[in-house]
């Protein structure tokens, strides 16, 4: 099931996306959900054409936990070794934007990069999750773009500013709850030109590895997001660019880059 968060007539709700097509092509409708989707829910039967609503970030996470250098070729392209343990960092909630929202080129950077990633959405409060129960705590999966101020990342030991600035975490267009994430194509295009193309099967640490590792240290809450790393091919974004992240079985997340301010 595809679960979207959206606004219509000033109201915000969740809904199940039904039909064939894309956000751009039409043919999709949203069946509004009664309540929130992390527990047992009912579909209201009230259906609205997707073209009549504004899609929002599919979740409002308490935290986004991102994993760096989880694809060997990406680590190599930036001159880094594959880390012995997962490299985890946070992106704040204020970095999260949705499909169609603008990525603001930060004034303190001159080198902005896209990073297409599979995002894991947590469905229940969990801590110290054993490997065999990881699937039980996952709500679903969505597309993410770990937008990075690369020059700042090189110059600052901590990545808080480089990867945590406002609008640096596009998520969407919805959460797919029925998906095997083990071998999916992950692609990024800029102005229609392919930049990244990899598969989740190339991840150094699996989703099970990452959930176990992260929950050893912290409690995850419903709606929290884990970014699982990016394949090779990251590259520059400039003002005016349109960047799209497409993940097999989920859909496409598209955002444009604008000048901040």
CATH number at residue 130: 3.90.850.10
Of the candidates 44, 19, 42, 41, the one whose C-alpha atom is nearest the C-alpha of residue 29 is 19
Q: Is 181 helix (H, G, I), strand (E, B) or coil?
A: helix
Q: Are 25 and 74 within one domain?
A: no
The answer on 102 and 185 residing in a single domain is yes
Residue 23 has pLDDT above 80, yes or no: no
Phi, psi of 185, rounded to the nearest 5 degrees: -75, 135
Out of 55, 73, 89, a domain closes at: 55
Same domain, 28 and 140: no
Residues 114 and 70 in one domain: yes
Lowest mean pLDDT among 28-32, 82-86, 122-126, 200-204: 82-86
Regarding whether 219 and 151 lie in a shared domain, the answer is yes
Query: Sign (positive/negative) of CA torsion 213, 214, 217, 218?
Result: negative
**pLDDT > 90 fraction of the chain, expressed in percent and rounded:** 90
Shared-domain flag, residues 106 and 42: no
- pLDDT greater than 80 at residue 245: yes
**How confident is the model at residue 157, as a pLDDT?**
94
203-208 contacts at long range (C-beta below 8 A, 24 or more positions apart):
203/70, 203/71, 203/228, 203/229, 204/69, 204/70, 204/71, 204/72, 204/82, 204/229, 205/67, 205/70, 205/86, 206/182, 207/120, 207/134, 207/138, 207/181, 208/131, 208/134
Residue 43 CA to residue 168 CA, distance in Å, equals: 32
- Angle among Cα 226, 64, 102 to the nearest 5 degrees reads 110
Distances (CA, A) of 160 to 40, 87, 171, 209: 36, 13, 19, 24
Q: What pLDDT, on a 0 to 100 scale, did the predictor assign at position 26?
A: 75
**Structural domains counted in the chain:** 2
What 8-state DSSP symbol labels residue 101?
Answer: P
The domain in which residue 82 lies consists of: 64-259
Residues 195 and 71 in one domain: yes
Please tell me the number of Cα atoms within 13 Å of 182 on its side-chain side: 3
pLDDT at 81 over 90: no
Does the structure show a pLDDT above 90 at 87?
A: yes
Q: The domain spanning residue 49 has which CATH number?
A: 2.30.30.370
195/137 same-domain check: yes
Give yes or no: residues 131 and 69 share one domain.
yes
- The pLDDT > 70 percentage for the chain reads 100
Q: Does one domain contain both 250 and 133?
A: yes
Same domain, 38 and 71: no
Three-state SS at 32: strand
Average pLDDT of the segment spanning 235-254: 98
Does 131 lie in the same domain as 211?
yes
pLDDT, residue 75, reads 77
Average pLDDT of the chain is 95
């Amino acid at each position: 099931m595809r679960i979207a968060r959206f606004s219509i007539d000033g109201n915000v709700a969740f809904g199940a996306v039904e039909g064939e097509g894309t956000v751009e092509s039409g043919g999709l409708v949203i069946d509004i959900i009664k309540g929130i989707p992390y527990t047992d829910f009912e579909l209201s039967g009230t259906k609205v054409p997707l073209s009549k609503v504004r899609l929002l970030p599919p979740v409002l996470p308490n935290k986004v936990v991102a994993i760096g250098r989880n694809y060997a070729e990406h680590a190599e392209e930036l001159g880094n070794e594959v880390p012995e343990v997962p490299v985890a960092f946070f992106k704040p909630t204020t970095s999260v934007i949705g499909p169609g929202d603008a990525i603001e080129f930060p004034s303190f950077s001159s080198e902005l990069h896209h990073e297409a990633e599979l995002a894991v959405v947590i469905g229940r409060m969990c801590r110290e999750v054993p490997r065999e129960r990881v699937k039980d705590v996952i709500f679903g999966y969505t597309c993410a773009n770990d937008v990075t101020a690369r020059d700042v990342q090189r110059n600052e030991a901590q990545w808080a500013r480089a990867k945590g600035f406002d609008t640096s975490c596009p998520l969407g267009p919805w959460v797919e709850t029925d998906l095997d994430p083990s071998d999916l194509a992950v692609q990024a295009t800029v102005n229609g030109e392919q930049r990244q193309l990899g598969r989740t099967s190339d991840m150094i640490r699996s989703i099970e590895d990452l959930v176990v590792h992260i929950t050893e240290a912290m409690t995850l809450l419903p709606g929290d997001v884990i970014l699982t790393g990016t394949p090779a091919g990251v590259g520059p974004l400039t003002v005016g660019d349109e960047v799209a992240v497409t993940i097999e079985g989920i859909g496409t997340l598209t955002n444009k880059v604008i000048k901040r301010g």
